[in-house]
Amino acid sequence: MSISAKLILPLIKRVIPYLPLLPTPLLSLPPTLLLHLSSHPSPSATSFISSSTTHPLHPPIIFTLIAIPVIYILGLISGNVSWVDRAWPFYTPFCTTLLVAWLWLNQDGVVYGHNLPRVGLMWALQLLWSTRLLSHALKRDFYNLRSEDYRYTAFRSLVPRPLFALVHLFVVAIAQPLLLLALSLPVHAVLTLPPSELASTGGYNLKWKTVKGFLPSRFDEVGSGSAGDDTPVLNLSDLAVFVLAVACLYVEWRTDREMYKYQSSKHSILDQAKANNNPTSTATVAPSDSSGSTLPKIYRPSKLSDKKAQDGKPQPSPYPLSHHPGFPTRGRWRWSRHPNFAAEQLFWVTQALIVVGGARSSGVTRRGWGAGAGSVFGPCFALSILFCASTFLTEWITSRKFPAYKPYRRLVGQFVPQETAWVWLWGTITRGRARDLKAVYEVPQLDEDAGTIDGPSIRR
């Protein structure tokens, strides 16, 4: 026996007892795929989806297993790790599309035909989400293949190269595609609900007999697991959650639009200042241009005074006094530092709420909270963890660039208004709120004859 075999066999023996703990779709995928490839005369994606041995989650899992190495290799080749970010608007809706394709094409899908209206509702909401995110990404030129999310760039400068390589592999290339796949699991939970577990809201339901006339006749077949005419396929909770989900998308759209307008205006003024003065400095601006018109005044925070200020970390950035303190603080930003992030997380909670509202309690927990509710609420909880980690880095960068961001954090909660209420209470008790309000909302005074004002020295 070779040395490699002696090393591998004991490892395999230790792993085998734990294989039954893996999800059933993952365990059944290899034999199902091999059986289809060896037995079907002309195997294809469509024939695999329609096969009676194919689990609804098999196609999304295969797509993810292909996407992970592609995303990783593209990152290695280009030196740009934002490839998974470019896939975000499409990934989960495409996984859901594969689930819908299984329900529509697979011969066993007729058993779950009564779930088509609710699955279609969740799918439509995801397509609206995808459209909003894609339009915002295109506006920001995010699909420029040379662009990279600024947080990756900053993180790369902070950590050793081997550590960033590990983050690229496990957090970016593996964890994020798995998360995006997991976000389609609530749709799978709805898809597989039997008629007996569908919830009713009194007389205010959409019944199966109203819907089945618009579907192919095979969905009306009477057989094992088929729904009766009076089965409630949609109820009032679906309407309520739909309104909440659309409201989340509207908040995201308005917030992203206002943030883009704010940042575009700010950088336009800085570019104007640079063009009308010293091309090597964006921080100094003359009080008027050659035509005599007054130019906006620029605030220039002092550079970081510690020795680490020259190690490539973000530096204090100049900004027009009209955009004090350099980031939005009014409107929604008085109640939440990241209203778009809050709405994004809540949107994916609504996908789980559709499962809860559409099923009886046994529909969520019939396999226990691990396999049942875990697959429903687990994905949105994992997304929140990702947002918390990402927001931590985002705010660290912002606080380095704009000194007023630290007091702003003591005034406004990170995501939801309830956090803002708590920080208001704490600030009032500690009597630091007035000082923080002055730092954030009071515009620095500038000499009328000067174009810039230097801020105080910043120490870390």
One pLDDT digit (tens) per residue for the chain, 460 residues: 566 666 677 777 777 777 777 888 999 999 999 999 999 899 999 999 999 999 999 999 999 999 999 999 999 999 999 999 999 999 999 999 999 999 999 988 888 989 999 999 999 999 999 999 999 999 988 898 888 888 998 899 889 999 999 999 999 999 999 999 999 999 999 999 988 888 888 778 999 889 888 888 878 765 445 678 888 999 999 999 999 999 999 999 999 999 999 999 999 999 888 887 644 344 444 444 444 455 678 888 766 555 545 556 788 889 999 999 999 999 999 999 999 999 999 999 999 999 999 887 644 545 444 445 578 899 999 999 999 999 999 999 999 999 999 999 999 999 999 999 999 999 999 999 999 999 999 988 765 544 455 554 433 3
At residue 312, the pLDDT reads: 63
Query: What is the spatial distance between Cα 132 and Cα 8, in angstroms, rounded to a whole number?
Result: 48
**Helix, strand or coil, per DSSP, at residue 310:** helix
At residue 220, the pLDDT reads: 73
Pair of tokens at residue 128 = 């609206």
Query: What is the spatial distance between Cα 81 and Cα 85, in angstroms, rounded to a whole number?
Result: 8
Determine whether 340 is exposed, middle or buried from the number of CB atoms within 10 Å of its CB (0-12, 13-18, 19+): buried
Residue 148 · residue 79 · CB < 8 Å = no
At residue 310, the pLDDT reads: 53
At residue 369, the pLDDT reads: 41
CA distances from 33 to 48, 58, 122, 181, 278 (A): 8, 9, 28, 19, 65
Torsion angle of C-alpha atoms 128, 130, 135, 140, degrees rounded to 10: 150
How do the domains of the chain map onto residue ranges? 22-260+338-401, 403-443
Name which of 298, 293, 300, 291 is nearest 269 in CA terms. 298
Residue with tokens 């040379």: 146
At residue 221, the pLDDT reads: 66
Q: CB atoms < 10 A from the CB of 323, how many?
A: 20
At residue 399, the pLDDT reads: 93
- ω into 407 cis (within 30 of 0): no
Residue 91 · residue 184 · CB < 8 Å = no
Residue 135 · residue 129 · CB < 8 Å = no
Query: What is the spatial distance between Cα 266 and Cα 117, in angstroms, rounded to a whole number?
Result: 46
**Helix, strand or coil, per DSSP, at residue 235:** strand
Residue 375 · residue 189 · CB < 8 Å = yes
**Bridge partners (DSSP) listed for residue 300:** 454
Determine whether 140 is exposed, middle or buried from the number of CB atoms within 10 Å of its CB (0-12, 13-18, 19+): middle
**CB-based burial, 162-186: b 16+ in 10 Å, e otherwise:** eebeebbbeebbbbbbebbbbbbbb
Residue 260 · residue 341 · CB < 8 Å = no
At residue 168, the pLDDT reads: 95
Query: What is the spatial distance between Cα 141 and Cα 242, in angstroms, rounded to a whole number?
Result: 30
At residue 219, the pLDDT reads: 80
Residue 91 · residue 137 · CB < 8 Å = no
Q: Residue 150: what residue type?
A: Y
Residue 130 · residue 90 · CB < 8 Å = yes
Pair of tokens at residue 251 = 């908040």
Query: What is the spatial distance between Cα 83 and Cα 27, in angstroms, rounded to a whole number?
Result: 29
At residue 12, the pLDDT reads: 74
**Helix, strand or coil, per DSSP, at residue 277:** coil
